[in-house]
Amino acid sequence: MSLRVLGVDPGLTRCGLGVVDVERNRRATLVAVGVVGTEAGTALDARLLVIAEAIDLWLDTHKPDVLAVERVFSQLNVSTVMGTAQASGVVIAAAARRGIPVALHTPTEVKAAVTGSGGANKDAVGKMVTKILRLDAPPKPADAADALALALTHAWRRGVAGPGQTTAGSASGARAIARPPTAGLTPAQRLWAEAEARARR
């Protein structure tokens, strides 16, 4: 049994979407990846409608067990923060209508989970996503790779549950699933598992 996670890197101009299936041994497989967005000059209501229709299609097509969305964080560009928050709201509401749990992860958490370093750049994240998912090339643009990284982060951080189950920390508040041993993990996964173990001591 595996966990299907839809990762969303929210944004009005480019909203990254990535679906992965993650097995109990943390082996991950790409299901779908893409980017949806609009031009900056488009009216806000039309921009949000494009994202709403896209996320509805992805949720109904891929039927994820959980959504992983990048948490909005403070930036110098207030308009960028507002757009990200608005896109996030549309995505979260779409999941809520279907009873799909939503989890939020910061960019630092995602970088640490995928690369082993919270200060990694987008190129490093893209390369690790490519390696972890056994792809021929990094997903482009970077928003697509970031969406996949979000999905991987959620599955690894919360433990992997089968369909019909949820992961700890989701909107349902379900109990935690026991994490698998570190044997067979990638270096980045192993670093993350070891950091989690230290934090629990």
Residue 12 confidence (pLDDT) = 94
Burial label for 179, CB within 10 Å (0-12, 13-18, 19+), is middle
Q: Which fold has domain 2-200?
A: Nucleotidyltransferase; domain 5 (3.30.420)
Structure-block tokens of residue 9:
């890197």
Give binding residues as ranges.
Answer: 9, 70, 143
Q: Say which of 9, 21, 65, 109 is annotated catalytic.
A: 9
Tokens 């969305």: give the residue: 69
Non-local CB neighbours of 139 within 8 Å, separated by 6+ positions: 18, 33, 126, 129, 130, 145, 148
143 is a catalytic site residue:
yes
Strands 2-9 and 15-23: antiparallel
How many H-runs (helices) and E-runs (strands) does the chain carry? 6, 5
* C-alpha–C-alpha distance, residues 5 and 178, integer Å: 18
Give binding residues for Mg(2+) as ranges.
Answer: 9, 70, 143
Q: Say which of 21, 65, 70, 146 is annotated catalytic.
A: 70
DSSP single-letter state for residue 77: -
Q: With contact defined as beta carbons under 8 Å apart, do 89 and 15 qualify?
A: no
Q: Say which of 21, 65, 109, 143 is annotated catalytic.
A: 143
- List per-residue pLDDT tens for the chain, 201 residues long: 799 999 999 999 999 999 999 999 999 999 999 999 899 899 999 999 999 999 999 999 999 999 999 998 766 577 778 889 999 999 999 999 999 999 999 999 999 999 988 889 999 999 999 999 999 999 999 999 999 999 999 998 876 544 444 333 333 333 233 334 454 555 555 555 565 555 455
* C-alpha–C-alpha distance, residues 35 and 100, integer Å: 21
Residue 80 confidence (pLDDT) = 79
From residue 193, how far is each of 15, 32, 106, 184, 185 by CA, in Å? 29, 26, 18, 12, 9
Residue 181 confidence (pLDDT) = 44
9 is a catalytic site residue:
yes
Residue 196 confidence (pLDDT) = 53
Sequence spans of domains, the chain: 2-200
Tokens 């979000």: give the residue: 150
